[in-house]
Amino acid sequence: MPPGGAPARLEVAIKEKAYGERAALGSLSFILEPGEVGAVVGPSGCGKTTLLRLVAGLDTDFRGRIAAGGAGLAVVFQEPRLLPWRSVEDNVRLVAPNADRLELAVLLARLGLEDHARDFPSTLSLGLARRVAIARALAVKPALLLLDEPFASLDGATAQRLADTLVPIFEAKAATTLLVSHDLVAAARLGDHALVLSERPGRLVKAVGFPQPRPARTPEIIARYIAELSAPQPPQGA
Amino acid sequence: MIARLASLGLLLLLWWAAAHIANPRLLPGPLDVLALAGRETASGALPKALAATLARVAASFLLAMAGGTALGYAMGRRRAFDSLADPWLVILLNLPALVIIVLAYIWAGLNEGAAIAAVALNKLPNAVVTAREGARALDASLDEMATVFRIPALRRWRHIVLPQLAPYLAAATRSGLSLIWKIVLVVELLGRPNGVGFEIGVAFQLFDVARLLAYALPFAALMLVAETFLVQPLEAHAARWRPRAA
């Protein structure tokens, strides 16, 4: 396992990203300080997942610059991308071969997976499979953590429980996190900032800060944050 | 298991009945063949021939599968390499086994290396084609996952690639073992001083059908045992993660 290093400082300065003739992302710049959670929101198809792939280094064909100091990257993909032929525990162990048993057990328990360590992914619901993907990502103690629509296709209650699980994990500020989601409630509950993108090609139209610590965010505060997100505003610097 | 045994019993019964009708020189009964196999086993001649043949089968099989998997994987992953190597593959696929064997013996001499290489070369294109299909079907999203998490090449191969290739390699193994065994016999008949193929050549010269069957059938029996007690349990283990069909 890579040493649990300090969280990264993520600096994104994209000028343009295009697939052939079709522009996918416009001008888009922001900085996440170490340990911060940036929630990227915007209409579907605006390039959120493209942004995540660029930050992950899976696509290097764009104009601009992305820099993340610190070592260790982990991604929670929208489809969990688990190995169907390995148990939950072995899926996590795959990326962290040196993790000891106790450490692994604690991690699985944190995500509510303690009863599923020996299950194969095909027997899990999507909600549980996402949790396994999150456990796998946390197992590498990343400096930079990317989550792509972790709440997509989950029913309301399941999404809520997953968000509850993520609150203390994000509050520990062990990793700088980029959370891509079209779900404003999740952004307002979990983000330190929200970055609002425009319609395709996605440009940054607004950056909103959520100063209240996550556990202290009451439904009223969250509603106010959402209202701030939805209000039409001229663009500001991030 | 019971169905398997019953089906085997039926085959023996048919053989026994046919032997009763036919000339015993042309088709000896199962008991006569078994008795001869017993005598040859007691004298040590049959086990020796079987061992020599099995060693050749194992060596050429491992060679063909290792080379075929590596080449097929590379061709499935790299389009440029595929278009370069594909014509060679088609030629090799369609070169008759006999041509490869005779050429190997002429060029390399009547020796063990030539024999094993000739057999392996006959199986190789087959393994390449199957492994290439498997490599083309590899899941790109798991590749990305492995890239993001910087999983080292060896772990990636073992935990991500190999399980996806496994059904293809199993298919290549099944068809490969029986194919290789058949070609090994030809190689032995043409240019080796021992082995089941050599003994069958002797039986042919003596027109001794009982001897021919006594040497040929033990291998088939061995494969049947291996299939039942080795291959099938292994496959069941490898497929334990698959959701059961309803």
Contact flag B148-A84 (C-beta cutoff 8 Å): no
> Is the domain of A61 the same as that of A20?
yes
> Is the domain of A67 the same as that of A164?
yes
Distance from CA of A194 to the nearest CA of B (A): 24
Token pair in block for residue B179: 């194919």
For residue A79, being part of any structural domain is answered with no
* pTM of this prediction exceeds 0.80: yes
pLDDT at A20: 87
Residue A233's pLDDT band, with cuts at 50, 70 and 90, is: low
Which residues does chain A have within 8 Å of residue B142's beta carbon, measured at their own beta carbons? 81, 83
pLDDT at residue A71 is higher than 80? no
For residue A39, being part of any structural domain is answered with yes
For residue A215, being part of any structural domain is answered with yes
- In this structure, the strands spanning A37-41 and A193-197 are parallel
Contact flag B243-A85 (C-beta cutoff 8 Å): no
Handedness of CA B93, B97, B99, B105 (dihedral sign): positive
Which residues does chain B have within 8 Å of residue A140's beta carbon, measured at their own beta carbons? 149
For the stretch A138-154, pLDDT in tens is 999 999 999 999 998 88
pLDDT at residue A237 is higher than 50? no
> Is the domain of A180 the same as that of A64?
yes
> Is the domain of A167 the same as that of A126?
no
Q: How far apart are CA B6 and CA A238, in angstroms?
A: 77
Q: Which residues contact A146 (CB under 8 A, 6 or more apart)?
A: A52, A55, A56, A73, A74, A75, A76, A177, A178, A180
Percent helix, percent strand, percent coil in chain B, to nearest 5: 85, 0, 15
φ, ψ for residue A117, nearest 5 deg: -55, -35
pLDDT at residue B246 is higher than 50? no
Instruction: Please indicate whether residue A180 or residue A234 has the higher confidence score (pLDDT).
Output: A180
Closest among A89, A80, A92, A203 to A147, alpha carbons compared: A80
> Is the domain of A167 the same as that of A178?
yes
Mean pLDDT for the stretch of residues B45-51: 94
For residue A78, being part of any structural domain is answered with no
Boundary of a domain, candidates A105, A120, A140:
A140
pLDDT at A238: 43
Contact flag B141-A79 (C-beta cutoff 8 Å): yes
Handedness of CA A135, A137, A143, A148 (dihedral sign): negative
- For A7, the domain range is 1-72+143-238
Contact flag A122-B142 (C-beta cutoff 8 Å): no
Q: Which residues contact A166 (CB under 8 A, 6 or more apart)?
A: A134, A150, A190
Which candidate from A75, A79, A94 shows the least CB-CB separation from B148?
A75
CATH code of A29's domain: 3.40.50.300
Distance from CA of B234 to the nearest CA of A (A): 14
> Is the domain of A91 the same as that of A129?
yes
Which candidate from B151, B240, B241 shows the least CB-CB separation from A95?
B151
Tally of structural domains, chain A: 2
Mean pLDDT for the stretch of residues B4-13: 91
For the stretch A22-65, pLDDT in tens is 888 999 999 999 999 999 998 888 889 999 999 999 999 999 99
Which residues does chain A have within 8 Å of residue B243's beta carbon, measured at their own beta carbons? 122-123
Distance from CA of A96 to the nearest CA of B (A): 9
Q: What region, left, alpha or beta, does residue B234 occupy, with left being phi > 0 and alpha being psi -120 to 50 degrees? A: alpha
For residue A135, being part of any structural domain is answered with yes
For residue A77, being part of any structural domain is answered with no
Contact flag B148-A56 (C-beta cutoff 8 Å): yes
For residue A68, being part of any structural domain is answered with yes
Lowest mean pLDDT among A62-76, A104-118, B70-84: A62-76
Boundary of a domain, candidates A124, A140, A156:
A140
A31 SS3 class: strand
Half-sphere exposure of A15 (CA within 13 A, CB side): 5
pLDDT at A70: 66
For residue A134, being part of any structural domain is answered with yes
A177 SS3 class: strand
Contact flag A95-B149 (C-beta cutoff 8 Å): yes
pLDDT at residue A235 is higher than 60? no
Domains (ranges, CATH) in chain B?
47-237 (1.10.3720.10)
> Is the domain of A66 the same as that of A147?
yes
Contact A171, A127 (CB under 8 A): no
Share of chain A above pLDDT 90, in %: 74
> Is the domain of A153 the same as that of A128?
no
Residues of chain B contacting A, Cβ within 8 Å: 141-142, 144-145, 147-151, 155, 159-160, 163, 238, 240-243
Q: Which residues contact B19 (CB under 8 A, 6 or more apart)?
A: B27, B28, B29, B30, B32
Distance from CA of B77 to the nearest CA of A (A): 18
> Is the domain of A98 the same as that of A167?
no
Which residues does chain B have within 8 Å of residue A58's beta carbon, measured at their own beta carbons? 144, 147-148
Burial class (CB in 10 A: 0-12, 13-18, 19+), B17: exposed
* Inter-CA distances, A190 with A129, A193, B175, Å: 20, 9, 56
pLDDT at B71: 96
> Is the domain of A173 the same as that of A204?
yes
Nearest-CA residue of chain A relative to B164? A85
Picking from A92, A95, A178 by the largest number of B CB atoms within 10 A of its own CB, the best residue to mutate is A95
Distance from CA of A136 to the nearest CA of B (A): 10
Residue written as token pair 């058949």: B182
pLDDT at B34: 93
Picking from B234, B241, B244 by the largest number of A CB atoms within 10 A of its own CB, the best residue to mutate is B241
Averaged pLDDT score across all residues of chain A: 90
Mean pLDDT for the stretch of residues B218-225: 86
CB atoms within 10 A of CB B21: 7
Boundary of a domain, candidates A118, A140, A162:
A140
Helix (H) or strand (E) holding A10: strand A10-19
Mean pLDDT for the stretch of residues B19-47: 92
Contact flag A81-B145 (C-beta cutoff 8 Å): yes
DSSP E strands: which ranges in B13-151?
A: none
Q: Which residues contact B31 (CB under 8 A, 6 or more apart)?
A: B16
Which residues does chain A have within 8 Å of residue B148's beta carbon, measured at their own beta carbons? 56-58, 73-75
> Is the domain of A236 the same as that of A171?
yes
CB pairs under 8 A between A and B: 48
Contact flag B241-A122 (C-beta cutoff 8 Å): yes
Q: What region, left, alpha or beta, does residue B139 occupy, with left being phi > 0 and alpha being psi -120 to 50 degrees? A: beta
Which residues does chain A have within 8 Å of residue B242's beta carbon, measured at their own beta carbons? 84, 122
> Is the domain of A122 the same as that of A150?
no
pLDDT at B141: 95
